[in-house]
Amino acid sequence: MTIPIETAARPDAASEGRFDVVVVGAGHAGCEAAVACARLGLHTALLTVNLDDTAKMSCNPAIGGIAKGHMVREIDALGGIMGIVTDRAAIQFKMLNRGRGPAVWSPRAQCDKPLYSREMLALLAGVPGLERIAGVANHVRLERGRVAGIELADGRFLACRAAVITPGTFLDGLIHIGSEKIAGGRIGEHAALALSECLSELGLERGRLKTGTPPRIHRDSIDTAAMAPQRGDDPPQPFSHWTERLELDQVLCWLTRTSERTHEVIRRNIHHSPLYSGEIKGAGPRYCPSIEDKVVKFPERTTHQVFVEPEGRDVPEIYVNGLSTSLPADVQREFVRTIPGLERAELIRPGYAVEYDFVLPHQLQATFEVKQVPGLFLAGQICGTSGYEEAAAQGLIAGINAALQVRGDPQFVLRRDQAYVGVLVDDLVTREHREPYRMFTSAAEHRLLLRADNADERLCEIGHAIGLVSAGQIERVRAKYAAIVAEERRLARISVVVPEGERPMRAIELLARPEGTIAGLAARGVASEIPPAWSDCIEVRVRYRGYIERQQRTAEKSASMDHVLLSVSLWEDELVGVSREAREKLRRWRPATVGQASRIAGVSPSDVAVLMVHARRGRANEAPASVEG
């Protein structure tokens, strides 16, 4: 089977393609979804408008960060690709929050944007069963109520048994720069209008969100001497569990600050901002405010931080992190030039805000399949999230589930106590969303269990069972944790050297103290028998054992509710005993488990108790049917 790659050369070619899964969009969600499907043995198409626009980093040039870095480690442990590509494209590594508690140590890597795309393209090219197709998706064709294929703008049709749609900010995207409005999802690229219309025809309820990006400044126009250099970690720690060694010359970033003069320019021009003139209707992310928002909402602040970050080794663009704005380009230039080090700054591209449609995610299952359209999966910003990492996590889960469904295997859902990825999915399908969803560590009630250091312990076995983590990889992880457990036992047996007159002490007791470290043990005569890279892991396990065990107990309790299934037929029932508000919410969300139901706002603990009764009764009624089946 051959698929025409160059649409421009044969615009009227109506060739048929037949696939198991078609993934629409080759951003961070689409790439994960396509690779997962292909690696699970399915014939997969990855459709994108322009083949070079793959895994583009539309906004900041970094992967990871607090809670996001955790998710990248999890994606990697499940057999996803973001961590590997990041390690290949990164130009600076940093473990954030190192001075805080272990649950919130978060890796982040500054990346070379064009290199990230190239590395992703190289990886995709090496995945058997994955075909990359250039084209514009126009329509999802249904047959007998389920997905039958994707119709392209040029008339081609890609038949498939499941589709994963990942259009990012392109659904009815509208870019704002001052009062100027341009249809598009990313500057210089068209919006996906037909696809947007198609989703409306499918009856999907939608909302409108907004996000923004700062101006890009020319590297040669900044004065680095006037700013504080920001270095990476030495040695750098790789993102991926499978990256053996990192060898790179890390770049510098810089820190500078806005001043009262900056704020004065912004205040004087605030009426030109579409955010304040009422032009923008979509809700923006509060955690990522524009500079005009920060100036207006926190007038008492005389300065705000600006991180000056190169977008790559050999590109002129400098990203000014902290200056996201939709003010007119000339105003942007004026206020940027009030900032130390940026006095002579030349703008390569102005910052802008973009409004786009998203599908209210209560219409999705925890597999990212649209409840009312079997075979149609959505992932990424279309589900109301922001961030490369959130998108990749959804792409992986949607891709795995699309593949499992085509193969006829049971679906795959992570629990909240297993991964941030599980928290992300659950939050999306059980909460109301008023702003783009971003992961925070505070979203995870089992935060001490979900550390960046133990993502492999939590998830590699699962990735292996799915088929995305190889036998060789899982053996490495098993050997690592066997060694760690053996080392803990050894430390519990042997004693450290104590000063004259002090009571004898086991090595593990010393390690459990706040100041205890593996290095500290060596100074007391107990040399470690595990590689230094695992020190963090063992220190945290020993020091926080009591808390970790407590969280494991509460996790087990809540997990038990996630295993109680609610039948879809229940929502047609009267739901006797459930409060009025909860009944309305439950009928809208149609949760799949009692656990999901319990997290919907408006469903009280007593409603949950009643649902448990209904669930039990439902099981009793269904039992004979399943015997027959």
Partner 1 sequence: MTDTIAAIATASGRAGLAVLRVSGPEALSVAGHVFRGRPPLSEAASHTVHHGWAHATTDARCLDEVVAAVFRAPRSYTGEDVVELSCHGGRLSAERLLAALVTSGARLAGPGEFTQRAFLNGRIDLAQAEAVADVIHAETEAAHELALAQLAGALSRRLDALGDRMTDALAEVEARVDFAEDVGGVEVPPHVVDLIESVRGELNAMLASAAWGRAIRDGVRVPLVGRPNVGKSSLFNALIGEERAIVTELPGTTRDRVTESIELCGARVTLSDTAGLRESADRVESIGVARAWDTLEESRALLWVIDGTAPIDADDHEIARAFAGKRVLVALNKSDLGCVLAPRDLEPLLVDARWSAAVSVSAVRGDGLAELRAALAQLIEAAPADGAGAQRSIALANPRHADALRRGAEGLARATAAAAAGSPGEIVALELRESLAAIGEVTGRAVDADVLDRIFGRFCIGK
Task: Provide the binding-site residues for partner 1, judged by CB under 8 A.
Answer: 66-67, 96-97, 99-104, 285-289, 294, 297-298, 301, 304-307, 321-322, 440-442, 445, 447-448, 514, 544, 547, 550-551, 574, 576-581, 598, 601, 603-606
The position carrying tokens 């028998």 is: 529
In the bound state with partner 1, the residue whose beta carbon lies nearer, of 65 and 184, is 65
Least Å from the CB of residue 291 to partner 1: 10
Least Å from the CB of residue 402 to partner 1: 31
* 3-class secondary structure, 151: strand
Least Å from the CB of residue 289 to partner 1: 5
What b-and-e string marks burial along 456-494, b requiring 16 or more CB atoms within 10 Å of the CB? Answer: bbbbbebbbebbbbeeebbeebeebeeebeebbeebeee
Least Å from the CB of residue 76 to partner 1: 22
Q: How far apart are CA 261 and CA 337, in angstroms?
A: 10
In the bound state with partner 1, the residue whose beta carbon lies nearer, of 50 and 560, is 560
At 32, list the tokens: 């994960």
- Please tell me what DSSP assigns to residue 294: H
Least Å from the CB of residue 60 to partner 1: 8
The gap between the terminal CA atoms of the chain, to the nearest Å, is 38
How many CB atoms within 10 Å of residue 524? Answer: 16
Least Å from the CB of residue 600 to partner 1: 9
Q: Which residues contact 220 (CB under 8 A, 6 or more apart)?
A: 316, 346
Handedness of CA 508, 509, 510, 514 (dihedral sign): positive
The torsion defined by the Cα of 282, 285, 289 and 293, in degrees rounded to 10, comes to 40
In the bound state with partner 1, the residue whose beta carbon lies nearer, of 102 and 173, is 102
Residue 442 phi, psi dihedral angles, 5° rounding = -70, -10
Least Å from the CB of residue 301 to partner 1: 6
Nearest to 488 by CA among 456, 446, 516, 448: 516
- Judge whether 432 and 600 are in contact, CB under 8 Å: no
In the bound state with partner 1, the residue whose beta carbon lies nearer, of 143 and 549, is 549
Least Å from the CB of residue 210 to partner 1: 14
Q: How far apart are CA 216 and CA 357, in angstroms?
A: 25
Helix, strand, coil content of the chain in percent (nearest 5): 40, 20, 40
Least Å from the CB of residue 205 to partner 1: 23
Least Å from the CB of residue 559 to partner 1: 16
In the bound state with partner 1, the residue whose beta carbon lies nearer, of 360 and 443, is 443
In the bound state with partner 1, the residue whose beta carbon lies nearer, of 8 and 576, is 576
- Judge whether 72 and 91 are in contact, CB under 8 Å: no
Least Å from the CB of residue 415 to partner 1: 18
Least Å from the CB of residue 27 to partner 1: 22
In the bound state with partner 1, the residue whose beta carbon lies nearer, of 10 and 298, is 298
How many CB atoms within 10 Å of residue 197? Answer: 13
In the bound state with partner 1, the residue whose beta carbon lies nearer, of 88 and 263, is 263
In the bound state with partner 1, the residue whose beta carbon lies nearer, of 475 and 584, is 584
Least Å from the CB of residue 532 to partner 1: 22
Handedness of CA 283, 286, 292, 297 (dihedral sign): positive
Least Å from the CB of residue 84 to partner 1: 26
Q: How far apart are CA 396 and CA 379, in angstroms?
A: 9
* 3-class secondary structure, 608: helix
> Nearest 5 degrees, angle CA 320-CA 325-CA 326?
140
In the bound state with partner 1, the residue whose beta carbon lies nearer, of 31 and 448, is 448
State the DSSP H helix or E strand holding residue 108, giving kind and residue range, or none if neither.
strand 106-111
In the bound state with partner 1, the residue whose beta carbon lies nearer, of 51 and 443, is 443
The torsion defined by the Cα of 193, 198, 202 and 207, in degrees rounded to 10, comes to 0
Nearest to 495 by CA among 513, 473, 510: 510
Least Å from the CB of residue 66 to partner 1: 6
- Please tell me what DSSP assigns to residue 370: B
Q: What is the DSSP secondary-structure string of 405-416?
A: HHHTPPP----T
In the bound state with partner 1, the residue whose beta carbon lies nearer, of 493 and 553, is 553
In the bound state with partner 1, the residue whose beta carbon lies nearer, of 288 and 468, is 288
State the DSSP H helix or E strand holding residue 110, giving kind and residue range, or none if neither.
strand 106-111
In the bound state with partner 1, the residue whose beta carbon lies nearer, of 97 and 166, is 97
- Write the single-letter amino acid at 303: T
Q: How far apart are CA 127 and CA 36, in angstroms?
A: 10
In the bound state with partner 1, the residue whose beta carbon lies nearer, of 28 and 438, is 438
